[in-house]
Amino acid sequence: MFPSKDETEITPVELQALRETDSAPSFHLIDCREEDEFAICKIDGATLVPLSRFAEAGPECLKGSALPAVVYCHHGMRSMNATMYLREKGFPEVWSLAGGIDLWSTRVDADVPRY
């Protein structure tokens, strides 16, 4: 289950629990890092929407979808900015991954390289 709409973050453990309980994707997973970072590591199933192009591509990625979204970056700062931007654009069910892919690597999937 996703955090309440009043909260802005989801933890890596909560995200993993969502991934394990859903046989089909029931949410968008958006990586807002840049292409060179995405080439180093990623969370399986993520769509790359770099923050440098997020103003137009972020809302477009969710347009017409009723699914919630989780946005992540390296440590959680850029994804929080992207989350707040999407919420301001009318997408209330968007959360930032607390600690980003770095915390994901230490708490959930040690096979994801850290940088």
Closest listed residue to residue 37, CA positions, set 82, 69, 78 = 78
The partner residues of 10 in beta bridges, in order of sequence, read 97
Residue 89 domain-assigned (yes or no): yes
Catalytic site residues?
73
Give pLDDT, residue 82.
98
- Give the chain's residues under pLDDT 50: none
Q: Give the strand pairing for 47-48 and 9-10.
A: unpaired
Number of domains present in the structure of the chain: 1
3 found inside a domain: no
Q: Is residue 71 part of a domain?
A: yes
pLDDT of residue 24: 64
Radius of gyration of the chain (CA): 13
Does residue 1 sit within a domain? Answer: no
Domain CATH for 56:
3.40.250.10
Q: For residue range 94-114, what is the model confidence (pLDDT) as tens digits? A: 999 999 999 999 999 999 999
**In the prediction, which pLDDT does 21 show?**
82
